Structure 1
Amino acid sequence: MSSSPLLSIETFRQAFLSGLGDLLEQPGFGVFILGLANATFDPEIHAALKAPLQYRFEQLAAICRESLSGGREVPAAPDDLVVFLKLMAIGFDGVALTEFRRADEWELQFNHIRAFRPARMTGEKVTGIHRPFDPRGFHFNKPFLRKEVFWEGELHGLEVELLYNKFPFAQFHGLLVPERREREPQYLSHLYHLYIWNLTEELGGCLPGVGFGYNSYGAFASVNHLHFQMFVREQPLPLEAEQWRHNGGEIPYPVDCLRFGSAPEAWAYLNELHREGISYNLIYRPDSLYCLPRRKQGSYEHAPWTTGYAWYEMAGGVTTTNRADYDNLDAAVIDAELSKLQL
């Protein structure tokens, strides 16, 4: 493909937007859903793509009506069809744009379209922190996902693919899949830990605000195929605030959080978590790694206003899909939910 778009923030933003525009020229329900979700998350993208998105929506809705009224199957993947039928039920203009607010130290977002997202692995109760790669399950080698690739090529010595996140909850949200044909499960090795640590350091010089989130198996990883969630934020995440004890402040974070300044030190701790079978979430930043060991999904009852706590939620962000929840949640409730994850 073309040269790396990761050379500067402006190059990256332009490539991200133009790639979404190109997607809308391709047939299919999945690429439309991806384009709409990314547009509703970012006002600039929404302004640029609203007209072509609405045109594609009407085209696809007509295909659905014609197929169903004629007693034929709609030519769409089952997950995509369910999502699109929900969109048809509320109409194109019924999808609200994502909104943000603060509740003391926490970041809340009203992300309406994520209400339609398939559950995948996040709805499972799991044991352990490793499961072999399953070629019959959902993974990034599926042919239809090639349409969703933002960029592919050699990056810091490895062949990688960077896919758009189909239901983003972070700025410039992508899925970095290293050596996807190797079919590595979502289990972090020393090699890939060092790779993503060094890559984050390298990209930090040209993409201010870059970071990578990682959900281990059992910590709300949605796909059991090795991947890291890339983002580029203008503002620090809530867990990066100076007030927290793990950053040298005096206030303890509601759940254990360790900050590491060197890759070997971090790996020694991660290796111990692996030996003990403890799930965890990670946030890689150019100067550090935040590690949050936690209770496994399915081992506790989370509040009805969340679908579960993955890396973004553990870092102090709250994604809601319901307007009333977004308006009414306060810091005390969020503190209590985070505390449930404490081992």
Structure 2
Amino acid sequence: MTEIAHFDSVDAYQEAFVSGLRVMLQGYDELGVFILVLANAMIDPETWDALSGPLQTKFARLSSFHAGSLDDAKDDRMVFQQLIAFGFDKLGPIRLREAGPWEVQFNPLRALRPARLIQQQVQGISAPFNPDEFHFAKPFLRKEIFWRGKLVGRDVSLLYNKFPFVQRLGLLVLEPREGRPQFLQRADHDYSWRLLDQLGRTLPGVGLGYNSFAAFASVNHLHFHLFIRDALLPIAADLWQHNGGGEPYPASCTRFTSSGAAWEYLQDLHGRKIPYNLVMYPGVLYVLPRLRQGERSIAPWSGGYGWYEMAGGCVPQGEQYFSRLTELQLADELRAVSVMP
């Protein structure tokens, strides 16, 4: 698991990404593995074409002896029961639509993910790492590692996201066995800039997302979300004032092209205990200060506003919301969860 060739091109990354999913599907009769592979296949039509056949075969196998023959986690059993009720034949790639400048997706697997931290009302913007809670160095997660090794000078693990919401999404965990909480230090911030500077040379569309503690980070273990999308996120569109356009972005958003200036801003947010979401492309960082989770009720159609939602995406909690959400509703929600720094 030390092949840097994974990062040589988008095609190489995609091939390795799908190959890893196929190996997991073939190697484990586990509900959690099946759900992870299914959710990742549904995000991308190319991946769905490659894996839908093996997924259907595994679904039939697991369904036949699911009731009492598998010792799986309670969350996985609940998700799988809902998939049985839904029916595999009704599954397929996620559906996307535009609502003005916003991106809306029907992603039924994402709506079924365990809540973990996102439904908790938390205090402050940091908490000590707790080795007894869920974290990314748990032994049972080793099979979910897409790549691990030394990348741009640091030891990292890149895990598959079990309930992804953008293409080729991985959980980039820095020195996972050190057990560091979800709180950025200067070295982590500077590393993210160096990492994207290097990856951006071979992986067009690569970026990082980050949810601070209290900003809908689901796990209190230092990690970024690494993605490679075919299209830019809405926050990166030319029409917004932060990108030189004429339209004000509904959420408070500051764009940085300097690592040093960005860190000064983040330090100020840390000092005032203001949570934030980050969206980063090579050489560009968007910082979005926002309300602490729990300070405001979550909209009935929303699973919570993390970096993807603050960047202009939305994963509604049901097909009826997917069809009906309007541009104005989405803009209003961004305003409501945002704070002026």
Contact conserved, 1:164 with 1:173, CA < 8 A, in 2?
yes
| Alpha-carbon offset, residue 96 of structure 1 | 4.6
> 1:62 deviation in Å?
2.1
The CA distance in 2 between the partners of 1:64 and 1:20, in whole Å, is: 21
Q: Distance in 1 between matches of 2:143 and 2:312?
A: 32
Which segment drifts farther, 45-54 or 173-182?
45-54
Q: 1:44 aligns with which of 46, 62, 69?
A: 46
Distance, in Å, in 2 between the alignment partners of 1:96 and 1:210 is: 25
Structure-1 separation of matches of 2:277 and 2:31: 32
Aligned match for 1:121, one of 90, 97, 117:
117
- Which residue is 2:10 aligned to? 9
Structure 2 distance, partners of 1:289, 1:210, is 13
* Residue in structure 2 matched with residue 177 of structure 1 by the alignment: 173
The answer to whether the 8 Å contact 1:148/1:164 transfers is yes
Q: Residue 63 of structure 1: CA displacement?
A: 2.3
Instruction: Indicate the percent of aligned positions where both proteins have the same amino acid.
Output: 50
Paired residue for 1:71?
A: none
The counterpart of 2:295, out of the listed 299, 312, 336, is: 299
Residue 61 (structure 1) aligns with: 63
Q: Which residue of 2 aligns with 1:155?
A: 151
**Aligned with 1:252: secondary structure?**
coil
Which amino acid in structure 1 is aligned with residue 59 of structure 2?
F
Matches within 5 A, 1:1-343: 1-4=1-4, 5-27=6-28, 28-67=30-69, 74-343=70-339
- For residues 2-61 of structure 1, the C-alpha deviation after alignment (integer angstroms, 9 at most, x for no partner) is 412111111101101111111101222211110011111111111111121111112222
The DSSP-based 3-state class of the residue aligned with 1:109 is strand
TM-score normalised by length of structure 2: 0.96
Paired residues, number: 337
Measure, in 1, the Cα distance between the counterparts of 2:119 and 2:175: 27
Given residue 131 of structure 1, which amino acid in structure 2 is its aligned partner?
Answer: A
Q: 8 Å contact 2:21–2:37 — kept in the other structure?
A: yes
TM-score scaled to structure 1, two decimals? 0.96
Q: Do the aligned partners of 1:33 and 1:166 also contact (CA within 8 Å) in 2? A: yes
**Structure 1 residue 89: deviation in Å?**
2.1
Q: In structure 2, do the counterparts of structure 1 residues 10 and 282 end up closer, same or farther at CA, with 3 Å as the change threshold?
A: same
Farther-moved stretch of structure 1 (50-59 vs 326-335): 50-59
Q: In structure 2, list runs of 5 or more residues that go unmatched.
A: none
**1:76 deviation in Å?**
0.6
